[in-house]
Structure 1
Amino acid sequence: MIQSAIGALLASSAAVAATPAPALPSTLANAAELAALPDGGWLALDKNGLRLLDASGAQRAQFPIRARQLDTRSHAEGMLAVVVDSNTERAQPLVVDLARGTLNALPALPAPGFDVEASCLYRDAQRIDHLFLIGKDGQSEQWLLSGAQYRPVRKLALPPHIKHCRVDDDSHTLLAAESDFGLWAYRADAEGSGQRQAVALRAPYGKLAGGAGALSLLPGGAALLDKDGAKLHLFRQREGKWEAAGSQQLAAKGGRGNALAVRAAGGNAVSLAYKTAENAPWQARALAWTSAGQAPAAIPFAIVEPRTQTDPMERQGDAADDPAIWLHPTNPAASRVFGTNKKQGLLAYDLQGKQTQLLESGRLNNVDIRQNVLLAGERFDLAAATRRDDNTLMLFTIDAKGDAAEAAVFPTTLEKIYGMCLYQPSGGALEAFVNDKDGRYQHYRIERSEGRFRAALLRSFAVASQPEGCVADDRSGRLFIGEEKLGVWSTSASAAKAEPLRMILPVGPALKADVEGMALYHGEKASYLVVSSQGDNSYVVLDAAAPHAVRGRFRIGMNVAAGVDGASETDGLDVTSANLGGPYAKGMLVVQDGYKRLPDGPQNFKYVAWDDIARALNLP
């Protein structure tokens, strides 16, 4: 009983066992770096090249190269390995064919504009392989390895003197060991804003002796040698946070050039291979380890790929905001996507994503469209947008070719105008809901007389905190409002039938703040409300009709073949069920992308085929 209790304690605290692991083959003695293979063998990197060894240490293959920074991932033929050529500074991928016992070189990556100090592989949620290259001064790049050619994904700014890095694919965490300071955890997923947390720092900021050395991954955690290689530190990830999980003295005195490799040994056992200095021998040690485990998401994500993307904004930074779809009356393929640039005005794109028009109308935020609107005996296709320069509502006409023109400017009494949406009641006419960052809403009727457009205030109401996105269902007469920190409300869109707001989707397991853009998809069998869940870079699909059951949620991933990155931190979106031809026969979703990658660039909009969403979520 006492022994079992001690064993449980050791496992829970991730203590290093006192007994050594099975001895390492003598043929590993001169290796500078090691990587364990699933068949019990090893990849060994030494001054003569990269060697493939079996479990007994017998050499099966060798690739001559003077290299460093060995990392691996599983591959259909065995393993994918990457090293950095010390002569050319180019990353060299190789396929390790375990069945045939061969090392097959793939094309090398282009040389970056800096000396590579560290590199590591990353496999994202789509099972797409990436490579991080990190320079001595902190210049860093993320590259896409999958597909017909390698592509730069983004540039990063990391601390200087990072000599070791590893990526935990499950949590999408880039661990970077800064030799003079400590261990940092970064977000490895290129989509979204950068995130960083300190895992362990040197004294007086933490308990590391001088800084961070070699690094390796554990299930749900990491193992780190300090800078002089004398001490092993263990860390566990729990609910997105990194915490210390024990340490062990390895040598009275170590040195630079330490190295570390880990092999799972079954159950809670891990075999650790390490060397405390460049010229020190490799040693083996057993490790009892239990990961904290990751709490599963209440509602899992599907991943859909965008079919294409629009030309980028002409302004850097947070520029793109909200799209709206205009349907051509006779030729669906000639339809347009209008989008706002918060630093410039209103833009239009064709279905291939090419920009067709720019109206420099000011700092426009949200835009919405209604077509075939009957006003004073005339029919119009109209777009409306909020303008933050002067807190006004702008009205645009759209002609039969899809070209917009400024038509009217309506003042409001709002102080920080923000979002808006249009409503076309069953009796005709046109109405607009505009909101303020303080939660106020103003409801206007848009009319036309004497050849001019006019706006009349119908009512005012408010939510408790900042709103932005809203959408009105012309069919049911319902208005859906997004309160960014709280969730989605529903109420009557009719000023004559005003009713209290009713929460239909609170922030929680399915929806993460901020609540942003929303739109309605009216299909043949069902209608859905699509909401941007900006807090976790996802999109929620729920029934447009009460009780508004959640049908699923998805993320927009990378389309490697088309060279289109995913979408993240989406502000505005729009969707249509109209047959636009080709992949959009069941309609399309357009979303604003907060971070343009593959490569870095100004923001833009992504197009997603509704049929892809329906298949991913099993929608009727």
Structure 2
Amino acid sequence: MKQVIKQGLALAALAMSLAAVLTPTQAQTLSLGKQGLELRAADGRLSDQLKLRIKRWDQRLDSQGRTLALVQDADSGRLLLLRAEPDGKQLKQLARWSGPAYATEQLCLHRDAQGLLQLFLLGDDGLSEQWLLDESGRSAPRQLRRLATPHAPLACRVRDAEAALYIAEPGVGLWRYAADAEREGRRLVLADAQSDEKALLQRLDAWLAATPVAQATAPAPAIVLPSAQTEPVRAQGDAADDPAIWVHPLRGERSLILGTDKKLGLAVYDLQGRERQFLPVGRINNVDLRQGLRYGAQSLDLAVATQRDEHALVLFGISRQDGRVRELARLPTGLDDIYGLCVGRNAEGGLDAFPNDKDGRVRQFRLKRDAVQKGGWSATLVREFRLPSQPEGCVVDEAKQQLFVGEEKRGVWRVALDVAEAQPQLVIPVSESLHGDVEGLAIHDSPKGRFLVVSSQGNDSYAVYEADAPHALRGTFRIGINAALGIDGASETDGLDLTSANLGGPYREGLLVVQDGRKRLPQGTQNFKLVPWREVADKLGL
């Protein structure tokens, strides 16, 4: 027992030394003593004590300046979240739960950009977990993700200001991981294969104290919260890709979301995220739709998706009564590696489709219904142009008769649709606000303004520009964790869609739907997140 306490005290000293560069001086202090965790007043007197053999622990301040501590019982492995009460005289238990199935070698807390408290539990066999904690004590801790870390880590600490998790690995050095669960990646920032453990700890302490947090050159994106999420897609891995919103003609709250599972087919979700229909049409990548199209005496709602195995367009009809989707036709495009797509209403009131190829080609097809053959459809090539490299996301701005296309490496191009020989112009280049890969595009058009939203996949954010030239930047945002509803944030977004229609409830001013490349809370297959446009407008002052 003495040896366990001695090791605990040594680790506590390390944690406190590393925390010196992270945590401000407090009027009341927590420390690990011989009998357990001790709360002391400013004059050093013992106020309260948690008598427990403690294996690991860490601390943070809450929004009111009170001290929070996370400790692990050395015997049972249980984890306890505690708070020093405002009177400074007692420790209150906020949560208690079983530790992970593996042996925990290190733990450390993290306060993220939203102000949410998170916990890293590092295993001795390279398995680790990240958890979301509720400081109010009303909700149980929830796992955000699993991650691979060094075997037998010597120490860990998070520098909140840079959202970075640092892990010391004996015989190697210091690793830096992204602390944000929506991001990935690690790199070795301090190689040290020669020092013994004590010397390595001293070097790490000095490195953290001396290395400044890098200052961002652009304002941090605002954080908006999702209000709902769809059920995860059926396929594993990188599967969800692109959504399209169908607006119910009479009751907005009954609107639907079409979402591609690019390995299996097309799913249809309601606004609560429940899957209502699935069409196993194969590897479709992007989908888009338009409503109230004129074909003869009929008014039709049509959706189009790119079928990658057949290099074709899949045409769907959508029932105007209940949103039921059915396949109508498969139309060849002549493209070699069909990829992205968007659609728009043409001057005749019918539908034009704009599929693109990975080689940079973009083609415009006019979809026609054969008057002789009942139910027959055809696609007539109208024009073709090429971008320098791979495009994918695009959107048709019918109000101004222009097409916006995202070239993943360079930015957003604009093409005039009312000029037959118009050539694309690069109008929004990649910048500090718009990182490559440039992915999904959509337009919000209302009396309050016309805005172009672009997925900035390279930094897991979204940029909002004025849809009209010169396309001034109005701000950037990220989609964060809605802890109250148990919905994780969004990252690595491919496709997105946006409507300004009144869909009721939180979506009275419109709805933004984005693909989420990393499903957390809990970890699972990819899905789509729903965000009220009002959230975006409020945060960016639109």
* TM-score normalised to structure 1 length: 0.81
What's the secondary structure of 1:107's corresponding residue? strand
Matches within 5 A, 1:26-175: 31-32=9-10, 33-34=12-13, 35=16, 38-39=25-26, 42-54=29-41, 57-75=44-62, 76=64, 78-97=66-85, 99-146=87-134, 148-175=139-166
Structure 1 stretch displaced more, 459-468 or 419-428: 419-428
Among 487, 490, 499, the residue aligned to 1:564: 487
Shift of 1:163: 3.2
Check if 1:371 corresponds to 2:357.
Answer: no
* TM-score normalised to structure 2 length: 0.92
Structure 1 stretch displaced more, 159-168 or 599-608: 159-168
Q: Which runs of 5+ in 2 are unaligned?
A: 1-5
Shift of 1:201: 2.8
Instruction: State the Cα deviation string for residues 201-260 of structure 1 (Å, max 9, x = none).
Output: 333xxxx414x56xxxxxxxxxxx516x6x666336xxxxxxxxxxxxxxxxxxxxxxxx
What's the secondary structure of 2:506's corresponding residue? helix
Distance (whole Å) between structure 1 residues aligned to residue 486 and residue 460 of structure 2: 20
Distance (whole Å) between structure 2 residues aligned to residue 98 and residue 399 of structure 1: 60
Check if 1:394 corresponds to 2:314.
Answer: yes
Instruction: Looking at secondary structure, tell me which structure has more helix per residue.
Output: 2
Structure 1 stretch displaced more, 442-451 or 70-79: 70-79
Shift of 1:349: 0.3
Q: Which runs of 5+ in 1 are unaligned?
A: 1-27, 214-224, 237-288
Structure 1 stretch displaced more, 39-48 or 588-597: 39-48
Q: Give the letter for the 1:82 counterpart.
A: L
Check if 1:518 corresponds to 2:492.
Answer: no
Check if 1:322 corresponds to 2:312.
Answer: no
Matches within 5 A, 1:255-294: 292-294=212-214
Distance (whole Å) between structure 2 residues aligned to residue 202 and residue 235 of structure 1: 12
Matched with 2:270 is: 350
Instruction: State the Cα deviation string for residues 140-198 of structure 1 (Å, max 9, x = none).
Output: 11111026221111111112101311111111111111234322111111113x20000
Q: Give the letter for the 1:589 counterpart.
A: L
Among 207, 211, 214, the residue aligned to 1:235: 207
Shift of 1:552: 0.6
Check if 1:226 corresponds to 2:200.
Answer: yes
Tell me if structure 1 keeps the 8 A contact 2:41–2:88.
no
Instruction: State the Cα deviation string for residues 465-510 of structure 1 (Å, max 9, x = none).
Output: 010000001111010010000000111124x533222222110121
Matches within 5 A, 1:195-206: 195-203=185-193
For these two proteins, the number of residue pairs brought into alignment is 520
What's the secondary structure of 2:154's corresponding residue? strand
Q: Give the letter for the 2:132 counterpart.
A: L
Structure 1 stretch displaced more, 359-368 or 327-336: 327-336
CA spacing shift, 1:525–1:298, aligned 2, 3 Å: same
Q: Give the letter for the 1:64 counterpart.
A: K
Instruction: Please give the root-mean-square deviation of Cα atoms over the aligned residues, in Å.
Output: 2.0
Identical columns (%): 45
Check if 1:448 corresponds to 2:369.
Answer: yes
Q: Give the letter for the 1:43 counterpart.
A: L
Check if 1:585 corresponds to 2:508.
Answer: yes
Tell me if structure 2 keeps the 8 A contact 1:568–1:595.
yes
Instruction: State the Cα deviation string for residues 283-323 of structure 1 (Å, max 9, x = none).
Output: xxxxxx66545333424311000000000011110000000
Distance (whole Å) between structure 2 residues aligned to residue 358 and residue 530 of structure 1: 28
Tell me if structure 2 keeps the 8 A contact 1:434–1:443.
yes
CA spacing shift, 1:588–1:30, aligned 2, 3 Å: closer
Distance (whole Å) between structure 1 residues aligned to residue 220 and residue 119 of structure 2: 26
Distance (whole Å) between structure 1 residues aligned to residue 72 and residue 217 of structure 2: 37
Distance (whole Å) between structure 1 residues aligned to residue 153 and residue 69 of structure 2: 20
What's the secondary structure of 1:505's corresponding residue? strand
CA spacing shift, 1:294–1:163, aligned 2, 3 Å: closer
What's the secondary structure of 2:539's corresponding residue? helix
Tell me if structure 1 keeps the 8 A contact 2:385–2:423.
no
